[in-house]
Structure 1
């Protein structure tokens, strides 16, 4: 082999290596039938061998919400009629924890019946691709979108979500349901101000404007609200976390902790218990 041939081969090898680096990675094969949970990143799913969530019994102050969400997920897992869900309201009150905990409780009785698929925040546009893959499976899947919100000027995102929920060309398959957590006001479509008369007044009356703002939320068959804790409920939540750890606390200090964080919530209660456990030299 002369020098010119060797040089040509080296050039071809470099070109081939460069093209290989530019090519998108091959899709990862996902076993959708065996794992309790998955995280969808927009092109592939990462398999999780467990769902990290508190025991359902430890979620206090939201008994009515627990009952409704657990019943709906259980019905879905057992192939009965079930709703898409919107869990909305106060921060720190256990919306996302409830989705995870209730799913894990249902899986305790039927591990292979249901899988939880959390969609990464930057992967919402690829949900139709996820639907396409899951539609080929015989298993049921709860598609979990946590802390959903749209920018004020975003009209495409809400419309696509409505399409997924109600029979558009990209609608979710029958073996999938959506479970969305959000401050509901963050995902309402505000179109009333976009429709105005020449005088600048909205042609919609107050009732019409309210109905219009609920256009997206109404697409969910089950909407569950979460509200700030009363003092009694907050102390009950603290006690539910503290008693199994044999931790003692004063109600005054627990309430002061919540006040400093601007909320009485399950999250604040847990953070307070972590603090007093640390002071007592205990592990959690």
Structure 2
């Protein structure tokens, strides 16, 4: 049954390939936008034409709002400024604990540097196979583009995994100078790691040589020139972020540490984090929004 289905899908794909040259041209890209998503025009699984769909309401995060990650923020900000200046800059892999600001950092960079020509293209993991088509559309543009891949995780056999490896550093074609790839992941090497792969390691002249499975996993993350690691927040860091967001949202008592209201807010914030099982910037923002909303409702 599976074989028949595969044959049918293969025939459909071949038919679509023949029809594609007669399809209408895709809508022209709106280059007045500052951010886009890559969208496929073809059916699921078909290579399609694809287009850059403008994002009309990008997040308006500020770099100053991202607390507890000062070192990571400074590193990616420096790398981005070098990129905008046309100096040496690296593709970046941001990995580590959930909710600690990996994606938010990239969104905040767009907000800060859009006036200097920075633009953002969001690409889903399953559509990374279209990277050559995306590059074709932007390589002659004057803007500087960050291709944003959020929450990446692969199996080694996936075609999008191989396409990303080639785009980073593995193709005969040099990547355009106006493009960098910034990717986030909860996994340092973007692929699942298994105990048996470490057991394949061997000793040669007292040196440990990794097994082929481990080498394959490292080969993708190694193509990112800059690695930034993110770790769970301490209680003090978490409460600092809570106080910041309470202040931004105008919650009562946010700027008056030591008061009964501030103590009540901090106690509630710790209970909120305990229920969520996470002390992170995302958890702090969610608590602050809830706390400020409750206050406004009670004052009506």
**TM-score bracket for this pair, using the shorter chain length:** 0.7 to 0.9
Cα offset for 1:119?
1.0
**Contact (CA 8 Å) 2:91, 2:224: kept in 1 or not?**
yes
Cα offset for 1:268?
0.3
The equivalent position to 2:34 in structure 1, one of 33, 36, 41, is: 36
Cα offset for 1:49?
4.7
**Contact (CA 8 Å) 2:73, 2:105: kept in 1 or not?**
yes
C-alpha distance in structure 2 between counterparts of 1:264 and 1:203, whole Å: 36
The equivalent position to 1:242 in structure 2, one of 246, 251, 259, is: 246
The equivalent position to 1:93 in structure 2, one of 97, 100, 103, is: 100
C-alpha distance in structure 2 between counterparts of 1:189 and 1:170, whole Å: 29
Cα offset for 1:137?
1.6
2:210 counterpart of 1:208 = yes
User: Which residue does the alignment assign to 1:127?
Assistant: 131
Q: Between the two structures, name the one with larger relative contact order (CA 8 Å, sep ≥ 6).
A: 1
Structure number, greater radius of gyration? 1
Cα offset for 1:213?
3.6
**Contact (CA 8 Å) 2:201, 2:210: kept in 1 or not?**
no
Superposed, 1:1-284 pairs within 5 Å as: 24-32=23-31, 34-42=32-40, 43-49=50-56, 51-108=58-115, 110=116, 113-151=117-155, 154=157, 156-169=159-172, 172-185=175-188, 187-188=190-191, 202=200, 204=202, 207-209=209-211, 212-244=216-248, 245-248=250-253, 249=262, 250=264, 251-281=266-296
Per mean C-alpha deviation after superposition, the further-off stretch among 118-127 and 141-150 is 118-127
C-alpha distance in structure 1 between counterparts of 2:244 and 2:201, whole Å: 52
Per-residue CA deviation, residues 188-238 of structure 1 (Å, 9 max, x unaligned), is 37599579xxxxx73645552455542211110111011000000000000
C-alpha distance in structure 2 between counterparts of 1:54 and 1:125, whole Å: 29
In the superposition, relative to structure 1, how do residues 25 and 185 fare at CA in structure 2: closer, same or farther (>3 Å)? farther
Cα offset for 1:139?
2.1
Q: CA RMSD in A?
A: 2.8
C-alpha distance in structure 1 between counterparts of 2:167 and 2:109, whole Å: 23
C-alpha distance in structure 1 between counterparts of 2:131 and 2:184, whole Å: 16
Per mean C-alpha deviation after superposition, the further-off stretch among 185-194 and 163-172 is 185-194
C-alpha distance in structure 1 between counterparts of 2:291 and 2:140, whole Å: 49
**Contact (CA 8 Å) 2:123, 2:148: kept in 1 or not?**
yes
Cα offset for 1:48?
3.0
Q: How many residues align?
A: 253
Q: Structure 1-normalised TM-score?
A: 0.79
C-alpha distance in structure 2 between counterparts of 1:28 and 1:193, whole Å: 49
Per-residue CA deviation, residues 103-148 of structure 1 (Å, 9 max, x unaligned), is 221224x1xx221111134322211110111112232211011111
C-alpha distance in structure 1 between counterparts of 2:269 and 2:217, whole Å: 38
In the superposition, relative to structure 1, how do residues 55 and 193 fare at CA in structure 2: closer, same or farther (>3 Å)? same
**Contact (CA 8 Å) 1:128, 1:172: kept in 2 or not?**
no
**Contact (CA 8 Å) 1:36, 1:50: kept in 2 or not?**
no
**Contact (CA 8 Å) 2:188, 2:221: kept in 1 or not?**
no
**Contact (CA 8 Å) 2:190, 2:217: kept in 1 or not?**
no
SS at match of 1:187: coil
C-alpha distance in structure 1 between counterparts of 2:34 and 2:25, whole Å: 24
